[in-house]
Amino acid sequence: KHRNLCKSLQNDLYLFWFCRNPEEFPIRLDLREDEGSDDNRSSSLGRSAPSDDASVVSDYQEDGVGDYDEDIPPVAAYELTNILKQGYLEKKRKDHSFFGPEWQKRWCILNNSIFYYFGSEKDKQQKGSFYINDYTVQMVTNLRKDSKRKSCFELSAPGKRPFQFTASSPQEAREWVDQINFVLRDLSSNFIPVDDEEEEEEDEDTYDDIEGWSTKPRLGRPRPPGEEE
């Protein structure tokens, strides 16, 4: 029966299996048709016709698919309102293969305790997102061997997927690390610590009541929304 299938249907089956299991195809497959079958497939997928098989695999293996927290709803980049840090970063793909780049340019946003990444600042839905609560972040220099190796940082957590990024400069990478660490410290505490002088002033602010005396609770100053470190 398979021999009786038309060439177009066979190509569709090969393309589907190729996109799902690219590791089983060590050589490049050329499934382009002169009859315009790619145009029909691309219209049904809601994207322009691919110029080669690499773009097809890239679309099917897009980063973030199935990796972001399901309870984070889709949102446009321009709809986020409590942005602590944003900018373009290069994100390392989870499953890098011969057919696609290892690093992809992404518009990244730290909004409250959620890290979003988009294709661009105009995207109407994130390509991926995750809560940073359980993560730690640090600068790393072993992700690349080129001139950008000192501009990389990584978020990692036990039992979770790590995320690696490259900034435009070591200073920019450090700013991302510092901002993420600030949020993580804030999440682990109910207040931001104050300095010693403020604590001494608050210690003097006591009062007596009928039943005895008490000290007013010391609370750190809340950080204004959107203020970057």
pLDDT tens-digit readout, 9-58:
566 655 655 555 555 555 444 433 333 433 333 333 343 333 333 333 33
pTM of structure: 0.57
Pairing of strands 103-111, 213-215: unpaired
Domain spans of the chain, in order of start: 2-59, 61-229
Nearest to 180 by CA among 87, 85, 80: 85
Structure-model confidence comparison of residues 111 and 205, the more confident one: 111
Scanning the chain, the segments in alpha helix (DSSP H) are: 7-20, 37-45, 53-60, 170-187, 196-204
**Count of residues in the chain:** 229
91 backbone dihedrals φ, ψ, rounded to 5°: -110, 135
Q: What residues contact 145, with CB distance under 8 A and at least 6 apart?
A: none
pLDDT score for 204: 55
Is 3.40.50.920 the CATH classification of the domain at 61-229? no
